[in-house]
Amino acid sequence: MNVLTVTPNPSIDHTVELATLTRGEVHRALSGTVEAGGKGVNVARALARHDHRATAVLPSGGVDGDRLEVLLAPQRVDAVTVAITGTIRTNTTVVEADGTTTKLNEPGPRLSGPELDALLRVVTARLTVRPDWLVASGSLPPGAPSDLHARFVRAARAAGVRSAVDTSGPALAAAVDAGPDLVKPNQEELGELLGRELLTVGDVVAAARELRTRGVGEVLVSLGGGGALLVTGDGVWWGGGEPLVPLSTVGAGDCTLAGYLHTGAPAAQRLSTAMAWGRAAVLLPGSSVPGPTETLAAAPGVRVLPDPDPETLLKDLQR
């Protein structure tokens, strides 16, 4: 499979492990990891570890931009960079021994109009080779138009390429209106998009079906520790498993999306694979992505149920 990803606001992801985080205190870290980051970058890294062809389009500038490219080089990801005058951001994550995760995400560099145009031109050019999917994901850099991901979706449709979107806020709203083949919001992001709280499984299913009436092909909704719901034209499925104590949740949702794209199997199997990849990711440090050994080990712990009954499955998803 050949997947093209675009990450308008990539990062260097620095993850630090502590026994316990205490505000205002000096801490000695137990360990630390540094990875190339950004949602689309993570999707590409996960797919490349499973021998898929993965191309990651991203802006790159400054010393951290150079560092990001160096970090990607050994991971079999074809990194296609657009030079910018700003410096790529660094995101810091603190993971405590009980799995509690605290994230400090920088806003990222402001891309000029010509730099944003160049990013779209590179994506459009890469779509001419007809990858199986375009994945447009992550936050937008400061000042970028809210319809940037929507522009990528429209470019994919013009090229006859399926598109998947994983973002939030106004960027998600604009992308939904462009009619992508797949969106992957979490429960909170979906509720924000539709302007209401989603407290039950039934609420989430109804919201996902509403997106489908607006032109979205499939909706994969993360429920955090409650698993995930998949809504397609063929039905509704819930996927999950026994609770895990995560080593790090950074990038786990991106690995879930990569797992979903990994196989062309029927919907239930795609969801099962997605959950296995996501569960494998949370058991790895930092924003490490799982390989075949880890995802195969996680697969037996996954359950997938068709037509989940809100009364018996998860009575209340409110966190």
CA distance 96 to 90: 20
Is 254 a residue of the active site? Answer: yes
Tokens standing for residue 318 = 């409110």
Strand 235-241, strand 228-232: pairing: antiparallel
Give the list of residues 6+ apart from residue 11 with CB closer than 8 angstroms, or none.
37, 38, 68, 88, 89, 90, 91, 105, 106, 108
Phi, psi of 196 (to 5 degrees): -155, 155
All residues at 6 or more sequence positions from 137 whose CB lies less than 8 Å from its CB, including other chains: 5, 6, 7, 39, 40, 43, 149, 164, 165, 166, 167, 254, 257
Taken as a whole, the chain contains a residue count of 319
Q: How far apart are CA 114 and CA 286, in angstroms?
A: 34
| The one catalytic residue among 13, 181, 254, 307 | 254
Tell me which residue of 234, 132, 231, 133 sits closest to 185, measured CA to CA: 231
Residues with Cβ within 8 Å of 293's Cβ and at least 6 positions away in sequence, in order, are none
233-237 long-range CB contacts below 8 Å, 24 or more apart? 234/267, 235/267, 235/306, 235/307, 236/205, 236/208, 236/306, 236/307, 236/308, 237/267, 237/268, 237/271, 237/304, 237/305, 237/306, 237/307, 237/308
Provide the annotated active-site residues.
Answer: 254
